[in-house]
Chains A and B, each alone.
Chain A
Amino acid sequence: MSAPLVRPRKKASLPVTPAVPSQVIVREKEAIRSWKAPIAFALFAVLAVLLFWVFGRDAGTNFRLSTDTDVIQLAAVDLPARATGITVSVLLLLITAFSFWRSIGKRPTPLWAVAVYGVLFMVGFLTWAGSGESILVPGLLLGALGLSIPLIFGAMGGIISERVGVVNVAIEGQLLAGAFVSAVLASVTGNAYVGLLGAMVAGMLVSFVLATFSIKYLVDQVIVGVVLNVLVLGLTSFLYSSILTDNSTLLNTPPRFAAIPIPLLSEIPIIGPVLFRQTLIVYLMYIIVVVVAYALVKTKWGLRLRSVGEHPQAADTVGINVYLTRFWNVSLAGAIAGIGGAYFTLGSVGSFQKDMTAGAGFIALAAVIFGRWDPIRALLAALLFGFATNLQSVLAIIGSPVPSEFMLMLPYVVTIIAVAGFVGKVRGPAASGKPYIKG
């Protein structure tokens, strides 16, 4: 019953290293025999055998790998549904067996196995679901990226804020504020760049409230976050209904960013059109993810940020101003999330709608936790959510054998299984959510 309660046994006593100074903390690798990954694998493998093999479909699936405008044209690939299904099922069973074997040996299932498993399952699933139809692969990926972008910006904002020690439940509010302000400012000035700047300021303003209340007034950070979401939703909806709807030509017809194809890179087959024929906001996303991922662990800024989030007393002792570090980094987080909000109005939809973020901020929060507060992992989690959401709309068009509601459900079910099976107990930044009182 109380399996998670028992402290896992250490595999062997660590080699004694007297040469290491006592200040250096050696991370103890805990060897746990965990059955979560193999069990999750087995569940999906059984599903694969049933769907792709037992209830397999006979018609082939056509995968188109290039759009008509590509310079390098790749030939479309035809996969026979049942044969592919059987191959994929067998491979999945093999990986499951491998995972069991690793668990018996008290070794964790490596990340590449999870990745290969995921890709294989998707190939099998697409072949099965798209049987007798044609799937445009770049289109599928492009839509997935588009849906992921606000999630990624939100997740980066969440990571910075939480790593500095302030729980950011207000991502939804920051996205929505960014979307609203960018739409209005871009419409009034006719300039999308002004709108983008406005979105950053708007996200930052939401962060100012979050930071002031949680750092200055020591209010529970989750309370402030939740309430801020409601406040921003109320404010934007109120202003939308009372002002924007009557003056929509003046206030709610923002210009959109044009796509800027990057020479050469945009001609790479499959990924070129997806990654390098995008708008400024998307390129900004690449830069921000790389910078955050690098700077968080390699720069003075990142070290200070993390130390304040993990152990504010220690940070204070060495002369870091905990309050100001928290305040300005939470504000930075808001600005980044605000850009994600601008993507809704300046990148994809075009005009502001009531509650247009529709829970994206909460999904971004899930991506933060799913990605264990790590920028790259959170990026992958956000991409997974985007992909799964887009997958169902693609399959809804070609007509899938499963009721569309179950397809819509799939990303969320996968997330639950993944969180329960692979992520398990996650440990956030130690001082996240705790106000710091000097003295």
Chain B
Amino acid sequence: MSDTKTTVDSGETKIAPPSRWNVALNEILRGSVIISILSVLLALVVGAILIIVVDPKVAATSGYFFARPLDTLGAMWDSAFGAYSSLFQGSIYNFRRPDFASGIRPFTETLNFAAPLIVAGLGVALAFRVGLFNIGGRGQMLIAAACAGYVGFAFDLPPVIHLVVAIAAGLAGGALWGGIVGLLKARTGAHEVIVTIMLNYVAFYLVSYMLRTPGLLQAPGSNNPKTAPINPNAILPDLLGSTYNLNLGLILVIALTILVWWILSRSSLGFQFRAVGENPNAARVAGIRVDRMYIYAMLLSGGLVGMAGIIQVLGTVPAGFSSGIDAGIGFDAITVALLGRARPWGVFFAGLLFGAFKAGGFAMQAAEGIPIDIVLVVQSLIVLFIAAPPLVRALFRLPTPVGEHKPISLRKPKVKAVVR
């Protein structure tokens, strides 16, 4: 992962102590907060340019640009502003609504989209910290969703117990699917990237088979590859009544974020995880059972990613699910984990941001006819810019912090003739 090493150069003699304000300003400008904000800004600007370029109205008015340039500029502004205002109104607050209760509804949508992204991102991030790259989010989500969904519609249990059993079944499924990877990695040294990719496909076809086989996951009396609706006892209860889509999943996700934070930074297991992630050989020498850590990490990672699948089936779409239940969250989770720099709270806020983009993206597509794929572009640019602070600093002419490597020049060095 991105290293945060800072070298302290104590040997340098300072000419004059900089003023306090100067120091404070430099701290802020160098800090990761300003880099993050500028990265988001930059990505939004690039997104706006793309939106403007493909807008037919802009193309039409640019035909007579030199006669009436304001028309073109106006169309450009309308295009970009329209897109981002509908993105905002679809994800945070809708000003067109009369009262606060209905105006804030988009924000609850954001939270609803964010919940599975966060928890899946936590799973990927946890694996990252142990030095494992879990691309198997899709498979782990599908298996967890299938397990939780099966318990959800096939069993008939009392209210609270049913929900708990369904979640437990889902967690077990996700952990099992992740654990296979850890076990193979620990026992045979099989590369986790290959195994997770392959298990994605295996899970997809397995769940597809079960979905079209009566008696397994297919709804009785139906020919569609879709399950029966989830039993009301197993559905995650709404948090704010039925007007909002927000369900208990969000609370579970917050709890899991705290749990992962605790595991990684406070528990002995987390210490061993991080040690293995930093340097498995050193960890082995220090007496840590590296192979066991791989298995535990993948079990936990699979379970966390599986939780995203559980939230999907028991919360988001309780009316029965098909093989598209993962909704690409397994792959989005990788970007979320990267944006959050594999830190639990970083992942939490990255998930919120991506949830907002998802919620707003649908609104933007509906209102302005801009394909939702632009959201992917903006999201990936944000991660790219945040990962490369020197680039952002160079673009905004910000000072380089002391002790950080300057970007490496890729120009061919000029070789001077050596004169003897």
Contact = CB atoms under 8 A, between A and B. Distances in A.
Interface in B376-420: 376-381, 383-384, 387-388, 390-391, 405, 407-410, 412-413
A215, A226, A370, A438 — most chain B CB neighbours (10 Å): A226
B335 A230 contact: yes
A218 B375 contact: no
B202 A366 contact: no
The range of chain A's interface size is 35 or more
B206 A213 contact: no
A363 interface: yes
Given A323-B410, A412-B201, A223 B387 contact: yes
A36 to B, nearest CB: 6
A231 B383 CA distance: 10
A220 B2 contact: yes
Interface in A400-439: 403, 405-406, 408-409, 412-413, 415-416, 419-421, 423-426, 437-438
A199 B41 CA distance: 31
Contact of B197 (A3, A228, A230, A366): A366
A100 interface: no
A421 B188 contact: yes
A237 B379 CA distance: 14
A276 B54 CA distance: 43
- Between A217, A237, A327, A438, the greatest number of chain B beta carbons within 10 A of the residue's beta carbon is seen for A217
Contacts of A425: 188-189
A5 to B, nearest CB: 7
B197 A363 contact: yes
A224 interface: yes
Interface string A326-362: 0100000000000000000000000000000001001
Contact of A226 (B186, B205, B335): B335
A362 B197 contact: yes
Given A2-B291, A230-B380, A243 B197 contact: no
Of the four ranges (under 10, 10 to 19, 20 to 34, 35 or more), the interface on chain B belongs to: 35 or more
Q: Which interface residue of A36, A228, A231, A323 has the most chain B CB atoms within 10 A? A: A231
Interface in B179-217: 184, 186-191, 193-195, 197-199, 201-202, 205-206, 208-209, 213
Nearest to B54: A242
A420 B184 contact: yes
Contact of A327 (B198, B338, B410): B410
| Chain B interface main SS type | helix
Contact of B338 (A1, A218, A227): A227
B370 interface: yes
A219 B2 contact: yes
B308 interface: no
Contacts, number: 172
A222 B128 CA distance: 11
Contacts of B190: 416, 419-420, 423-424
A362 B376 contact: no
B164 interface: no
Contacts of A237: 371, 373, 376
B338 A226 contact: yes
B282 interface: no
B194 A419 contact: yes
A230 B135 contact: no
A213 B50 CA distance: 22
Given A234-B374, A416-B198, A406 B209 contact: yes
A223 to B, nearest CB: 5
Contacts of A243: 54
B408 A413 contact: no
A423 B193 CA distance: 14
B352 interface: no
Given A362-B135, A369-B193, A217 B199 contact: no
Contact of A238 (B194, B371, B381, B405): B371
Contact of A219 (B54, B197, B284, B387): B387
Contact of A366 (B198, B371, B407, B412): B198
Contact of B370 (A5, A242, A324, A327): A242
B416 to A, nearest CB: 15
Contacts of B197: 359, 362-363, 365-366
A239 B55 CA distance: 11
A416 B188 contact: no
A241 interface: yes
A413 B50 contact: no
Nearest to A407: B205
A405 B206 contact: yes
Nearest to B56: A246
A213 to B, nearest CB: 6
Q: Which 5 residue pairs of A and B lie closest in terms of their CB atoms, listed nearest first? A: A425-B189, A234-B376, A241-B371, A405-B209, A237-B373
Interface of A: 1-5, 36, 209, 212-213, 215-220, 222-224, 226-228, 230-231, 233-235, 237-239, 241-243, 321, 323-324, 327, 359, 362-363, 365-366, 369-370, 403, 405-406, 408-409, 412-413, 415-416, 419-421, 423-426, 437-438
25 contacts: A2-B289, A4-B187, A213-B387, A216-B407, A216-B408, A217-B387, A217-B391, A228-B380, A228-B384, A231-B377, A234-B373, A234-B374, A235-B377, A237-B376, A242-B371, A406-B205, A406-B209, A409-B201, A412-B199, A413-B202, A416-B202, A420-B187, A424-B188, A425-B189, A426-B189
Given A237-B376, A409-B202, A416-B202, 19 more contacts: A4-B186, A4-B188, A4-B189, A5-B284, A212-B410, A219-B2, A228-B380, A233-B376, A234-B373, A238-B54, A241-B371, A242-B54, A321-B412, A324-B412, A363-B197, A409-B205, A416-B194, A419-B194, A423-B190
